[in-house]
């Protein structure tokens, strides 16, 4: 069964169709490479899969279902609550002074106990006595805030990157995006966020649960750094890393969420041959941990060396799919991209 | 790893010892009480702007909400009178609530727009406080406010040393809590949003909710600062004590001290507020004693120098030490390891795919 089903993804930006009806399946445990000339739509495809863009058409199913929030009763209830709250608070804001005077000022005498019940009753009477016209403005404001909430919540129903990451798809970026002022281990810990459970108050007050989770997650993060060969600099700032190591840190950070699928966007870009070799080994070790890998890559030695299957894109369309051997002998793919024999 | 003096601990140790050695005069206490209050406000702003990277130009409004909330809940001209400590706690809650309400519709806005919204919020809050006279007493301010009591012993308004230590302890607790957050999942999420919002979202961190929590937390801390500001005066003062200049002062504190650095915020408060209420006052006294005090020239009074000095300090810091006096990430951990020179095998140029 396929882990990820990409069906007929189309991505249009105005008049430009960057990705045009691309479909492919990702099987559990494989390494799939996406290749194609610059501008073929590879990164756009990645962005559509990971929710950075909402695809114009098509669907991405992960483990048989689309990762998105479903419209439910909560949406309606929350919008209605915000609408009512907006109306009431507008009403109170418009009539704050008379209500306050009637309920508080009129009833409070310094040094005497305050008659709470009478105060509430007076506040209610004053509010009731407000002419109906003054109810119109709050009603309008309430309707507007309610509608805005519906819109905002509706907007969140799209496939957002955070939801998709939490579902188990982790990614790296073409132009490395590390948290450069954080240390290496903190970068990995941010990647681990979806697996941590301590909430705000536990963290604020350092309850025992925090310490337990803290020592466990730190140990795990160190392990990942060791896996990526970066453990000796765990507490250095990410910005102090040399270029080749940043890629490795990005992979370690992505792995921290224990993803089912890892998407690597040109992991070998700008690396020298020896770094590429060690990166290949790293990717294979990642696969051996049970993570399915999709990668975009221009580096043919790496692509041919480690992928199980290859998808070839050109001008946003898929023009070939198959094992490295098949792709190497496919005339269309060679014409479109591989071209120079010496690259192989 | 080299042992490093923790600047936060150092700050509190020196602050605790200072009244014992210094000629503890009223001027000294006045200055430091105000330093501690503004350190709290700076601490709140540091969460919002320093940690999470949202420029907030309306910090004074949250201070004002804290101060007025505290005053209305505790002053004996109103029926609530819940006492100092509950008032302090609830003023923090009021600040958090205001942060949530302001944040809910606006935190989707990007940097500059958010700055304008918060600035507008500051102005609106001032106008509301001035005009809602039945509740806020307009420009008179609300007074008197209750004294804090600790187990039956109440701190008198004139007992400046007790006030000094009370504020120091409250500031210490706030610093500790903020530090807890910073060094936890919550704080890492804030920092990651500041560093790279998209990457952070792709790591599974919900951006809007995380920003809201940071905004509410920062607002709550600033509101507690505002409540203490009022408690110190035993009056909220007039609404204009919370004008735009106060927001800018808070911003100056964290820029001079170091964005995203708790120790930096404390030092920034000492430098900026100390300059204002200690050094300039001393200079004014000295000039006055030599008969140069009163003059029609605005620059003759050192109190009018403060904006010049703020501006100068900002320019100097931004020019010479843009990361602030106490940059973040040097605190306690070995993040200070200098970047090592690239080794020959790893200095491949950026970009340039090999295909």
Q: How big is the CA angle at B190 (ends B188 and B192), to the nearest 5 degrees?
A: 65
Among residues B13, B22, B9, B26, the alpha carbon closest in space to that of B163 is found at B26
CA separation for the pair A207, B184 (Å, rounded): 12
Q: How far is B277 from chain A (nearest CA, A)?
A: 33
pLDDT at B193 over 70: yes
Confidence of residue B19 (pLDDT cuts 50, 70, 90): confident
**What tokens does A231 get?**
């453990």
Q: How big is the CA angle at B86 (ends B84 and B95), to the nearest 5 degrees?
A: 105
Dihedral angle, C-alpha B8, B13, B17, B22, nearest 10 °: -30
Confidence of residue B300 (pLDDT cuts 50, 70, 90): low
Of A104, A240, A299, the CB nearest to B355: A299
**SS3 state at A195:** helix
The answer to whether the CB of A258 falls within 8 A of the CB of A228 is no
**What tokens does B271 get?**
């430098």
Does A178 sit within 8 Å of B353, measured CB to CB?
no
Cβ atoms < 10 Å from Cβ of B339: 11
pLDDT at B35 over 50: yes
| Chain A residues whose beta carbon lies within 8 Å of the beta carbon of residue B328 | 181
**What tokens does B221 get?**
């801390």
pLDDT at B2 over 70: no
Chain segment A251-265, per-residue pLDDT in tens: 999 999 999 999 999
DSSP state, residue A197: -
Question: What residues have CB less than 8 Å from B263, skipping those under 6 apart?
Answer: B7, B8, B11, B257, B326, B331
pLDDT, mean over chain B: 83
Tokens 């269309």 -> residue: A332
CA separation for the pair A195, A199 (Å, rounded): 12
Note the pLDDT of residue B202.
Answer: 93
Which is it for strands B149-150 and B153-154: parallel, antiparallel or unpaired? antiparallel
Among residues B263, B285, B246, B239, the alpha carbon closest in space to that of B175 is found at B263
Tokens 């730190």 -> residue: A218
Half-sphere exposure of B159 (CA within 13 A, CB side): 12
pLDDT at B332 over 80: no
Q: How big is the CA angle at B45 (ends B40 and B46), to the nearest 5 degrees?
A: 90
Tokens 């300039």 -> residue: B280
* Closest residue, chain A, to B190 (C-alpha): A190
Q: How far is B151 from chain A (nearest CA, A)?
A: 23
The answer to whether the CB of A191 falls within 8 A of the CB of A256 is yes
Chain segment B78-114, per-residue pLDDT in tens: 888 888 899 999 999 999 999 998 988 887 776 788 8
- CATH fold group of domain B7-16+25-289+298-332: ABC transporter involved in vitamin B12 uptake, BtuC (1.10.3470)
| Chain B residues whose beta carbon lies within 8 Å of the beta carbon of residue A266 | 353
Q: Where do the structural domains in chain B lie, given as residue ranges?
A: 7-16+25-289+298-332
Does B187 sit within 8 Å of A96, measured CB to CB?
no
Average pLDDT of the residues in B110-131: 89
Which of A53-62, B60-69, B296-305 has the highest mean predicted lDDT (pLDDT)?
Answer: B60-69
ipTM (interface predicted TM): 0.89
User: Which of B131, B194, B343, B354 is the best substitution to test chain A (most A C-beta atoms within 10 A)?
Assistant: B354
DSSP-assigned states of every residue in A67-127: -SPPP-HHHHHHHHHHHHHHHHHHHHHHTHHHHHIIIIITT--TTSPP-HHHHHHHHHHHH
More confident residue, B188 or B283: B188
Q: Going from the N-terminus, what domains does chain A have, and what CATH number goes with each?
A: 2-66+161-176+259-343 (3.40.50.300), 73-155 (no CATH), 179-240 (no CATH)
Question: What residues have CB less than 8 Å from B297, skipping those under 6 apart?
Answer: none
Confidence of residue B338 (pLDDT cuts 50, 70, 90): very low
**SS3 state at B15:** helix
Note the pLDDT of residue A296.
Answer: 93
Cβ atoms < 10 Å from Cβ of B324: 23
What is the distance between the terminal CA atoms of chain A, rounded to a whole angstrom?
32
| Chain B residues whose beta carbon lies within 8 Å of the beta carbon of residue A152 | 105, 108
| Chain A residues whose beta carbon lies within 8 Å of the beta carbon of residue B349 | 270
**SS3 state at A273:** helix
- H or E element: which one contains A20? strand A16-27
Chain segment A116-132, per-residue pLDDT in tens: 888 888 888 888 888 88
Note the pLDDT of residue A88.
Answer: 86
| Chain B residues whose beta carbon lies within 8 Å of the beta carbon of residue A178 | 195-196, 199
Chain segment B234-279, per-residue pLDDT in tens: 888 888 889 898 999 999 999 998 888 999 999 999 998 988 888 8
pLDDT at A291 over 90: yes
Of B180, B199, B355, the CB nearest to A177: B199
CA separation for the pair B269, B32 (Å, rounded): 10
Radius of gyration of chain B (CA): 22
Among residues B142, B166, B140, B141, the alpha carbon closest in space to that of B153 is found at B166
Q: In what order do the strands lie in the sheet with A16-27?
A: A16-27, A2-13, A57-62, A65-66
Output phi, psi for B203, to 5 deg.
-95, 5
Confidence of residue B24 (pLDDT cuts 50, 70, 90): low
| Chain A residues whose beta carbon lies within 8 Å of the beta carbon of residue B206 | 160, 162
Note the pLDDT of residue A340.
Answer: 52
CB pairs under 8 A between A and B: 180
Average pLDDT of the residues in B205-219: 93
Cβ atoms < 10 Å from Cβ of B128: 18
b/e map of B198-218 (b: 16 or more CB within 10 Å)? ebbbbbbbbbbebbbbbbbbb
Q: How far is B351 from chain A (nearest CA, A)?
A: 5
CA separation for the pair A232, B14 (Å, rounded): 36
Note the pLDDT of residue B291.
Answer: 65
More confident residue, A287 or B156: A287
CA separation for the pair A268, A291 (Å, rounded): 19
Note the pLDDT of residue A189.
Answer: 95
Report CA-CA distances (Å) from A305 to A157, A280, A321, B92. Answer: 40, 8, 16, 60
Chain segment A183-228, per-residue pLDDT in tens: 999 999 999 999 998 889 999 999 999 999 999 999 999 999 999 9
The answer to whether the CB of A170 falls within 8 A of the CB of A265 is no
Among residues B266, B262, B246, B252, the alpha carbon closest in space to that of B58 is found at B246
Does B77 sit within 8 Å of A203, measured CB to CB?
no
b/e map of B24-52 (b: 16 or more CB within 10 Å)? eeeebbbbbbbbbbbbbbbbbbbbbbbbb
Q: How many contiguous H segments (helices) and E segments (strands) does chain B have?
A: 14, 2
pLDDT at A107 over 70: yes
Dihedral angle, C-alpha B200, B201, B205, B208, nearest 10 °: 110
CA separation for the pair B51, B54 (Å, rounded): 8
Q: How far is B140 from chain A (nearest CA, A)?
A: 17
Output phi, psi for A258, to 5 deg.
50, 60
Does B342 sit within 8 Å of A300, measured CB to CB?
no
**What tokens does A132 get?**
């109906």
Q: In what order do the strands lie in the sheet with A169-171?
A: A169-171, A261-265, A292-296, A31-35, A309-314, A317-322
CA separation for the pair B227, B242 (Å, rounded): 12
Q: How far is B60 from chain A (nearest CA, A)?
A: 21
More confident residue, B55 or B352: B55
Of B195, B204, B348, the CB nearest to A244: B348
């Amino acid at each position: 069964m396929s882990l990820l089903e990409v069906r007929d993804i189309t991505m249009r930006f105005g008049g430009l169709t960057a990705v045009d009806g691309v479909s492919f399946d990702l099987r559990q445990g494989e390494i799939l490479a996406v290749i194609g000339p610059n501008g073929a739509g590879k990164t756009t495809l990645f962005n559509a899969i990971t929710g950075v863009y909402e695809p114009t058409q098509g669907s991405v199913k992960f483990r048989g279902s689309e990762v998105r929030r479903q419209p439910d009763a909560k949406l309606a209830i929350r919008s209605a609550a915000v609408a009512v709250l907006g109306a009431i608070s507008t009403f109170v804001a418009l009539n704050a002074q008379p209500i306050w005077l009637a309920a508080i000022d009129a009833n409070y005498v310094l040094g005497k106990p305050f008659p709470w019940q009478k105060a509430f009753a007076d506040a209610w009477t004053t509010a009731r006595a407000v002419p109906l016209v003054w109810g119109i403005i709050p009603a309008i404001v309430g309707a507007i805030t309610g509608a805005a909430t519906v819109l905002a919540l509706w907007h969140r129903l799209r496939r957002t990157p955070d939801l998709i990451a939490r579902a188990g798809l982790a990614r790296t970026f073409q132009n490395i995006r590390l948290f450069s002022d954080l240390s290496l281990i903190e970068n990995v810990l941010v990647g681990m966020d979806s697996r941590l459970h301590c909430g705000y108050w536990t963290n604020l007050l350092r309850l025992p649960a925090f310490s337990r989770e803290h020592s466990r997650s730190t140990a795990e993060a160190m392990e990942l750094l060791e896996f990526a060969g970066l453990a000796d600099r765990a507490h250095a700032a990410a910005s102090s890393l040399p270029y080749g190591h940043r890629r490795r840190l990005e992979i370690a950070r992505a792995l921290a969420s224990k993803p089912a699928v890892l998407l690597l966007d040109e992991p070998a870009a700008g690396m020298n041959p020896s770094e590429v070799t060690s990166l290949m080994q790293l990717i294979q070790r990642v696969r051996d941990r049970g993570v399915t890998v999709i990668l975009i890559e221009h580096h043919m030695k790496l692509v041919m060396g480690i992928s199980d299957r290859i998808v070839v894109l050109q001008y946003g369309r898929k023009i070939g799919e198959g094992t490295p051997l098949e792709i190497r002998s496919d005339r269309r793919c060679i014409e479109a991209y591989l071209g120079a024999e010496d690259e192989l | 790893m080299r042992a490093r003096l923790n600047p936060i601990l150092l700050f509190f140790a020196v602050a605790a010892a200072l009244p014992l050695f210094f000629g503890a005069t009223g001027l000294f206490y006045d200055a430091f009480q105000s330093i501690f209050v503004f350190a709290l406000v700076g601490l709140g702003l540091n969460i919002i702007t320093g940690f999470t990277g949202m420029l907030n130009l309306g910090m004074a409004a949250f201070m004002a909400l804290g101060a007025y909330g505290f005053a209305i809940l505790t002053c004996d001209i109103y029926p609530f009178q819940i006492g100092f400590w509950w008032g302090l706690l609830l003023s923090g809650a009021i600040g958090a609530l205001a942060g949530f309400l302001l944040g809910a519709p606006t935190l989707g806005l990007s940097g500059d727009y958010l700055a304008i919204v918060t600035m507008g919020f500051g102005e609106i809050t001032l106008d509301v406080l001035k005009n809602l006279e039945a509740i806020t007493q307009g420009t008179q301010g609300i007074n008197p406010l209750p004294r804090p009591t600790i187990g039956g012993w109440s701190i008198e308004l004139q007992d400046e040393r007790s006030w000094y230590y009370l504020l120091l302890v409250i500031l210490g607790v706030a610093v500790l809590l903020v530090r807890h957050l910073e060094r936890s999942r919550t704080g890492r999420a804030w920092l990651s949003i500041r560093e790279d919002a998209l990457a952070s979202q792709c790591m599974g961190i919900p951006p809007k909710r995380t920003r809201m929590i940071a905004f509410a937390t920062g607002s709550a801390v600033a509101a507690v600062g505002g409540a203490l500001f009022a408690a110190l005066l035993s009056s909220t003062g007039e609404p204009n004590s919370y004008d735009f200049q106060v927001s800018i002062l808070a911003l100056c504190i964290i820029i001079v001290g170091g964005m995203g650095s708790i120790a930096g915020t404390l030092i920034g408060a000492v430098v900026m507020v100390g300059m204002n209420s200690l050094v300039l006052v001393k200079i004014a006294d000295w000039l006055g004693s030599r008969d140069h005090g009163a003059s029609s020239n605005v620059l003759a009074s050192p109190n009018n120098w403060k904006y010049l000095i703020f501006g100068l300090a900002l320019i100097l810091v931004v020019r010479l030490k843009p990361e602030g006096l106490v940059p973040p990430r040097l605190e306690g951990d070995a993040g200070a390891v200098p970047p090592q020179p690239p080794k020959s095998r790893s200095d491949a140029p950026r970009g340039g795919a090999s295909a």
